[in-house]
Amino acid sequence: MNTLRTAMLLAAMTALFMGVGYLIGGSGGMTIAFLIAAGMNLFSYWNADKMVLAMHHAREVDRRTAPDYYGIVEELARRAGLPMPKVYVIDNPQPNAFATGRNPQNAAVAATTGLLQALSREEVAGVMAHELAHVQNRDTLIMTITATIAGAISMLGNFAFFFGGNRDNNNGGFGIVGVLVAMIVAPLAAMIVQMAISRTREYAADRRGAEICGEPRWLASALGKIARGAERIPNMDAERSPATAHMFIVNPLSGQRMDNLFSTHPATENRIAALLRMDAERPAAPGRVDLPGGFARRASADRAPRTDGPWGGSSPRRGPWG
């Protein structure tokens, strides 16, 4: 089903790209737009993940450079029955994370330094389980390709602003209208496509992520902290590349936190409520609950996550790299 949805999305985005090309340059513009879109689709399939990681200045880490963070991802991937993804850190103070890659064999997960410093180890596990759920559900291909093509459509709208309207149409007024449509409708249409693929998939990834880590409250608590952090701390890389916003676990852009037609994510409070309902509905599980990285704790009635930082000890700001 996800393969079919990906094909339909690519076809829709290509048609939109061609339509904007026609408004800018007539039949010749449409032909050029088709060739660009076809090449972009092929390039995006193989390289979109690398482009997105580069946009956000992500750097790869391993068991030596980030043992705790890497160990959490490794254990969660084992639980989910997934190949070990590449693990990245983004030097950004805003707490956030995303996953990318065309399939589980070529997947990558990335977390910001702000997330690793602000969240407890349990909460980090909840977040990374959510990202691995996107990998397992094969959401990452469509999310990454959408980011690339949506960004290109937005650039095409900007191109229209500078280089005029439909030159094959004798009606000069239509050319002006074409420019206005390209400037306004194309970025809006790209945003609507992002919304369509993101909103339901976030709920599905929340549920599956909670199943992978075994504790819905870990992710619920993490979402609350991430949302509050995103409100206070700007993510300048995301602001410069807004077409990638739908990939993050919580919207990294300012002013886009309402659960309405123009948001790229469901409202965080709705996601938290769904996770708490999931937690309340599951059977009681007394005894030990193993945590990634060799931790274990005794399950309790409230199952509240720890708050002493992701790496234990008295210095939660130490980070995973030493």
Of 193, 187, 222, residue with least CA distance to 206? 222
Helix (H) or strand (E) holding 140: helix 140-163
Q: Which two tokens stand for residue 43?
A: 């390039």
Residue from 75, 131, 239, 269 carrying the catalytic annotation: 131
- What is residue 285's three-state secondary structure? coil
Angle made by CA atoms 211, 101, 245, in degrees to the nearest 5: 80
If you search the block for the tokens 């199943």, which residue do you land on?
Answer: 211
Residue 202, marked binder: yes
Please say if 75 is a catalytic residue: no
From 157, 184, 162, select the one nearest 33 (Cα to Cα).
Answer: 157
Task: State yes or no: 130 annotated in a binding site.
Answer: yes
Picking from 138, 192, 108, the residue whose alpha carbon sits closest to that of residue 7 is 138
Which helix (H) or strand (E) is 296 found in, with range? strand 295-298
Helix H or strand E encompassing 87: strand 86-90
- What is the separation, in whole angstroms, between the first and last Cα of the chain? 43
Phi, psi of 122 (to 5 degrees): -60, -40
Under 8 Å between Cβ of 96 and 124: no
What are the Cα distances from residue 65, in Å, to 126, 249, 293?
Answer: 21, 24, 15
- Length, in residues, of the chain: 322
Cβ(305)–Cβ(53) under 8 Å? Answer: no
Instruction: Establish whether 122 is an annotated binding residue.
Output: no
Q: Give Cα 53 to chain centroid, integer Å.
A: 11
**Which residue ranges make up the annotated binding site for Zn(2+)?**
130, 134, 202
Catalytic positions, please?
131
